[in-house]
Chain A
Amino acid sequence: GAGVSQSPSNKVTEKGKDVELRCDPISGHTALYWYRQRLGQGLEFLIYFQGNSAPDKSGLPSDRFSAERTGESVSTLTIQRTQQEDSAVYLCASSLGLRGYTFGSGTRLTVV
């Protein structure tokens, strides 16, 4: 597509439920990134996919967080047993390397 698409744009979930966030990168972009942005804070790196290589999961905050990507297409970020501190905007970006990220509009997750 023309840009990075994320869905849903907003998600309200009850504490303890699992959620899945979706990211459709720009076609042809081999790299895909997930970031978390808490209210009033900067972006926190979560995970990075590059082609068919093993993902860099060094930013995932706990084992409740996981992500998958099939080839160079869609990625899903899954948060299990959500907690209130998981409330944030989750941003996805894709690129052909570090030289230019394109961000999606994000998914605003609210855990109540």
Chain B
Amino acid sequence: AQSVTQPDIHITVSEGASLELRCNYSYGATPYLFWYVQSPGQGLQLLLKYFSGDTLVQGIKGFEAEFKRSQSSFNLRKPSVHWSDAAEYFCAVGPTGANNLFFGTGTRLTVIP
């Protein structure tokens, strides 16, 4: 079945530590790939996206993500987390030919001082 999986429901990191949020998908062809962030009570903000080309994409707020075709993964990384990064992070997939994006269930990030 087609799906987007974010295996980590909740992650806690210390401020200044590195971060990696996992995302795996199962769709036939290479889809469009996205990461969104949602702060409490807010809508979703686009962090970065991948359509084609260089498999390492840079986004806003110092985030990056790497597309690995062999692993059907699109993991989000940040070398040094700031307290303001505490939020919910959603991976989304836009399958080829689809009209809409499919979202993972999200990973809640807590940042401790």
Contact status B99-A99, CB under 8 Å:
no
Within 8 A of A (CB), among B80-113: 90, 92, 94, 98-106
Separation of A105 and B90 alpha carbons in the complex (Å): 15
Interface residues of A (CB under 8 A from B): 4, 31, 33, 35, 41-43, 45, 48, 50, 56, 59, 91, 93, 98-106
27 A-B pairs (CB sep. < 8 Å): A4-B43, A33-B101, A35-B103, A42-B90, A42-B104, A42-B105, A43-B44, A43-B90, A43-B92, A45-B100, A45-B102, A50-B99, A56-B99, A91-B43, A91-B44, A93-B44, A98-B32, A98-B94, A98-B100, A99-B49, A99-B51, A100-B49, A101-B34, A101-B101, A104-B43, A105-B42, A105-B43
